[in-house]
Structure formats: structure tokens, C-alpha cells
Amino acid sequence: MAKLPGSYRHVSFDTLDSTNKYALKVAAEGDAGNLWVTAGQQSDGRGRRGRPWSSNEGNLFASLLLIDPAPIKDIGQLPLVSAVAVHRAICDVVPPHLRGAISIKWPNDVLWDNQKICGILLESSGLLSGHQAVVVGIGVNCRTHPDRTDGLSATNLSQSGYDVDPLALFERLAFHMAERLDCWNGGLGLADIREDWLSRVRGLGKPIVARLPNEEVHGVFEQLDEKGGLIMLLPDGTRRVIYAGDVFSPGTLT
């Protein structure tokens, strides 16, 4: 069993349909939260917008159940918190000379060069008790990967020539999530998280394309606003803030 910090608990399965689904189920049954759920493989893993998530054995599939982690208006900041924690965890388990290849793509994809190695899916549900359950689902390609994920080419950590054990990675992830959640402090510490995130992001100051439900926006990734939204400088000199959408570098767009 993995070593966890503080009050966090952990349940592990060889196979599960979805770690997120299980976490939401036990939340509805009254679980107090701070619960990690991991699985060796998933039969019904999913990514953003219901897209399937490749869930082969040898990778990390983990979901963290939180109860009332922040006011509703600030829960949208959790992707930044989670991405920084994942980035830190991966840096812990690969040799120092490889860490420069790891970066974050807004808001919470983690890349190896320009290839996706991690996806993060947040789901929430209001409980009958009046509390809010939030699940942070994290999938990291340690040893296998699909050809593409969410429009990006994908890879896995073992392609670097250095094998990463999912359990070892999970222990570092649990540590960094607890530490970054404490720093974030329900939204009060967003400024520190924002600076941490910006130090790890790929594409700052470079052209990007934001795919939104009804349009495609081209511009330059200029900054994050104080709420974690992506500020784009448009060709006409105006600025636009993106809070939800898929963002790509033009050369990786498909």
C-alpha cells in the first residue's frame, strides 16, 4: 500500500470501470473525502467531454475525492493546482537531465516535449447533504500510450529510456497534491499556484489556437489572469480571456 501524507486515505483495485466513477459513488454514500482511488487498469476510463481514455495496465490511474475543497466560484482553479502537482511528481521520478522535457499545456495537460503523457479530468456533484464532491482524475502514461489523445500525439514516460513504476509515481503525486492543495488553501493561495504553474507551462508568449464550442480563436498566449483564465493577445491588438476550451500550438493542431 502506498504511503500517503496526513489524513489522506487510499483504496486500490486491480481493475475498475472508472476511478472517477467510483469516487463519485462513495461520495454519494457519505465518504468524508481526502480519498485516493487507484486502479491497475480501467474498463471505462474517460477524458474530457466524455472522450475515452486509454487505460492499459502499466500506467497510473488515480482519482482524488475532495469534499467542499473551495467555494463553488473557485473550484475551477483546481486544474492548475492538479497540473502543478503532477508536473512536480513526474520530475521527482525521472533523472534530472530529463526534467526539462516536461511541461504543462493550459490548463492541465502534462507534456513530454509536445506529446501528451497525462490528462486530468475534474468532475463534481452536489450531495444530498448539501456538500459538494469534487473528484480530480489523473491518468499518466507510464509504460504504454495511444497514438493520439485529445488531438495531440501521445507518448509514455518509458519512451525516455527510464522506466517509471506507477506506484512510485503515485506516492509522489499524493505528496505533491496534498502540499499544493494546502498552498492553494481553497483559492486564497491562487497567486502562488499561478506563479508555480507559469514557471512550468509551454507556449507562453507564443502563437496558440483555442478551439471553443462554436469558433476557433488564433492569437498569442500572453498570460494568466487572476482567476486562472488564459489571456490571448489577438491579431487586432485586443485581448480575450479563455476559461474553457482546447488550446494547441499551431504546429500540433489536427
Is the pLDDT at 146 greater than 70? The verdict is yes
| Distance, CA of 10 to CA of 63 (rounded, Å) | 10
- Phi, psi values for residue 190, rounded to 5°: -60, -35
What's the pLDDT band for 148 if we cut at 50, 70, 90? low
Mean pLDDT throughout 134-153?
83
**Calpha distance 106→110 (Å, rounded):** 9
Average predicted confidence (pLDDT) for the chain: 90
Q: Can you give the pLDDT at residue 3?
A: 76
pLDDT of residue 150: 59
Q: Kindly state the average pLDDT of the residues 103-109.
A: 91
Percent of the chain's residues with pLDDT above 90: 71
Give the integer Cα–Cα distance in Å for 177 and 47: 20
Which of 170, 172, 190 shows the shortest CA–CA distance to 181? 190
- Full-model pTM: 0.90
User: What was the pLDDT predicted at 254?
Assistant: 46
Residue 50 has pLDDT above 70, yes or no: no
Per-residue pLDDT tens over the stretch 216-243: 999 999 999 988 899 999 999 999 999 8
pLDDT value at residue 57? 80
Give the model's pLDDT for residue 247.
Answer: 87
DSSP string of 56-121, one letter each residue: -TTSEEEEEEEES-S-GGGGGGHHHHHHHHHHHHHHHHS-GGGGGGEEEETTTEEEETTEEEEEEE
**Rounded Cα–Cα distance for residues 248 and 116 (Å):** 12
Reduce the DSSP state of residue 9 to 3 states and report it: strand
pLDDT digits (tens, 9 = 90+) for 62-93: 999 999 999 999 999 999 999 999 999 999 99
Residues in the chain: 254
Across the chain, where does the E strand assignment appear? 9-16, 35-42, 60-67, 102-105, 109-112, 115-126, 132-140, 148-149, 152-153, 207-212, 215-224, 230-233, 239-242, 246-248
